[in-house]
Structure 1
């Protein structure tokens, strides 16, 4: 079949790879001039397979109210007259029930571990250069109560395949000496040794090249302005340069999917969570963390993409914040300044901070944090959406599942939890 994938970010390209391997003719359509130029451009850089628990956790609503009143909180909400926002928030509150959270954690762990396996198979077949290495991850906590809560989640996740260890403050410092400047504030941390790091944009560039070498067609600079439906099925993606016809269509345009789906009467439970990142040069004399770090207090992640070497600078990626402020990607100066200050306080000697390059992007999130995969209810239109803050971690897995569904195969893990219509979780279940 000829399959048109709309979107050349992590989700779209990973899906295109699987479809091409299945023998389909693949056309990838994207409004940008190249791959991975949207939300995939400068994300946190962590492949965190054991850190996929839903954002809607028990108690997060109460904590979120206090964050709204704090100018320096990791979450910022700007109330506005957008029905999408209020529907999303109400569904988010419902998703924070403990039984829904626990089921969501199980579903996301299964998807993440599947994605890790699919990525390994992809790299065995098409070695890509994207600063990938397994360096482990350490989540550090300053509040003993927060650490105790994390320990309970470690125990829960251990029953579902996670391999993690709770460390005290001394053990955290021994594992990552770059934490020396904040060691006195630490209560402890959770170490996951098999997590990885990589550059998502470089991954997209490499995968685009691998796809092109194997016959995929790319139509960059071609924004899909609509979907043409005939007899209840999508017949073409409409662009300013003319229609793009295919036998099947995969919608993988992130938050941009709303503008294509809503005119068709298709309601998607998506809202953009705006996030920020800094990409900072490191020099041979700097002391960046070798292990990927998440500061649980500030909700900021640190990933050393490249080590510095004589004659070559390295790169440290810093990312954080969840802003529910609409659909703009503008850089808000005070949020960038806050992220920079928090990073300098934790790792003052890690990088050449004055040369940090800021970026912001929109994470297309569902209220329950699970992606939307499978049939749309409209003929010949498939969905691969809602990866939230986990696009790099789960994209390979979602691409494999969707290719399986299109082919009529049974996926390696059940696909039902990620369908547009979710199975209901009974109270107390």
Structure 2
């Protein structure tokens, strides 16, 4: 089949790779000049198959009120007259129950574990390099309350067969020796040893090169104007450089995906939640992280990427804005210098990206009510983590093959009338 993949971020490129591997003729269309130049450009760098939880969880509404009052808040809400924002927030609050959390986390872990095996196979097949490390994720708790609250995550990890280990402060320091200077600030940690780290930008560009060698065509610098749908079937995509006919179209446009499919009656509840990152050169190896540490107090990930530290996190609900707020930079600097002062923050590059979030945390992967139109979007903070499994799964669904994992509850149909 002739397939158009819309979007050249990590989700679009992995989709294209697996579709080409399945024997399809693939074209990737993106408005940027190259791959991974938007949300995939400078994310936190963690590939966290075990640290994989919905943001909608019991107790979150109460915590959110407290967070909004903090100087270094993990959540920032900038309300505006935006019906889509209000609908998304309402749907998210409905998912903040123990029952919904368990269902959503199980879905996410299923896809994340599939991504773990898929990424390992992809790496073995391609010898791709992207500053990768396989040393796990350490979720770091500064308070006993945080440690006790992790019991629900431990239960879910155990039920899904995901390896984990609960650590005392000394155990945390054994995993991350640079934490020795911050011993008095730590009460414990939750280690998911099979997690990885890596530079998503390097990975996406490396995979795009390999996909192009397989025959994938990349059409950069094209603005997508709309889909052409006739008789209930998608025939292709309209761009500022003309019409691109296709037997199937895959929408992997992140936060912009709902805008493209809304005219055809598809209610895709994906909303942009802005995250920030710093990329910091390391000047003292002994005071830098070995892998990824998730600072639970601020919901900030601190990750080792070669000779750099990537610090990423926060959730700012402010619509389609990409401004760089200095207050957010101060929060990132506070977290990393408090735990790992081995980088030169004065030389750091500051960045923001729009994460495509669903209200239940689970991405949307699969067919729509329009024949030939597929979605692969809504991965939130876990696009890098879930990319390989999502692309592989999407390729199976487009090809009409039986997928390796159950995908029925990942499609947009789970939202009812959508």
Q: CA deviation at 1:423?
A: 7.8
Distance 1:107 1:268 in 2: 18
Q: Distance in 2 between matches of 1:178 and 1:21?
A: 42
Any idea what SS the aligned residue of 1:339 has? Answer: helix
1:258 shift after superposition: 2.3
Query: 384, 403, 416: which is aligned to 1:411?
Result: 403
Equivalence for 1:38:
38
Residue number in structure 1 paired with 2:309: 316
- Change in Cα spacing, 1:284 to 1:338, as seen in structure 2 (3 Å) is closer
Q: What is the 5 A alignment of 1:18-417? A: 18-283=18-283, 287-306=287-306, 314-348=307-341, 350-417=342-409
Whether the aligned pair in 2 keeps the contact of 1:301 and 1:320 (CA below 8 Å) is yes
Q: Which moved more, 1:333-342 or 1:158-167?
A: 333-342
CA–CA separation in structure 2 for the residues paired with 1:274 and 1:421: 26
Judge conservation of contact 2:59–2:96 (CA < 8 Å) in 1.
yes
Distance 2:219 2:80 in 1: 36
Deviation at 1:164, TM superposition (A): 0.8
Q: Which moved more, 1:32-41 or 1:59-68?
A: 59-68
Where 2:189 maps in the other structure, the secondary structure is: strand
Deviation string 1:162-206 (CA, Å, 9 cap, x unpaired) is: 111111112212321211232101111111222111000001100
Compare 319-328 and 256-265 and name the one that shifted more: 256-265
Query: Does the 8 A contact of 1:9 with 1:204 survive in 2?
Result: yes
Mean Cα deviation higher: 204-213 or 221-230: 221-230
Asked if structure 1 preserves the Cα contact closer than 8 Å seen for 2:269 and 2:358, the reply is yes
User: What is the CA distance between 1:68 and its match in structure 2?
Assistant: 2.1
> Could you tell me whether the CA contact under 8 Å between 1:286 and 1:351 is conserved in 2?
no
Answer whether contact 1:417 1:423 (CA < 8 A) is retained: no
Q: CA deviation at 1:272?
A: 0.7
Q: Distance in 2 between matches of 1:231 and 1:175?
A: 58
The gaps in structure 1 that reach 5 residues or longer are 307-313, 425-429
* Off by >6 Å, runs of 4+ in structure 1: none
Greater Cα shift, 318-327 or 119-128: 119-128
Instruction: For residue 380 of structure 1, report the CA deviation from its aligned partner.
Output: 1.4
TM-score by structure 2 length? 0.97
Assess, with a 3 A threshold, how the Cα gap between structure 1 residues 355 and 120 changes in structure 2: closer, same or farther.
same
Query: For residues 246-280 of structure 1, what are the alpha-carbon distances to aligned partners after superposition, in whole Å with 9 as ceiling and x for unaligned?
Result: 11100001011122112233221011110000001
Which residue is equivalent to 1:310? none
- Stretches of structure 2 that go unaligned for 5 or more consecutive residues are none
Q: Equivalent residue of 1:422, what SS?
A: helix
TM-score using structure 1 length: 0.94
8 Å CA contact 2:39–2:355 kept in 1: the answer is yes
2:300 and 2:314 in contact (8 A); partners too: yes
**How far 1:66 sits from its partner (Å)?**
1.8
Q: Distance in 2 between matches of 1:200 and 1:212?
A: 18
The 10-residue stretch of structure 1 (284-293 or 247-256) with the greater mean CA deviation from structure 2: 284-293
SS of residue matched to 1:221: coil
* Deviation sequence 1:366-390 (CA, Å, 0-9, x none): 0000011111211211111101000
Partners of 1:201 and 1:285 lie apart in 2 by 23
Q: Matched residues in 2 for 1:122 and 1:84: separation?
A: 37
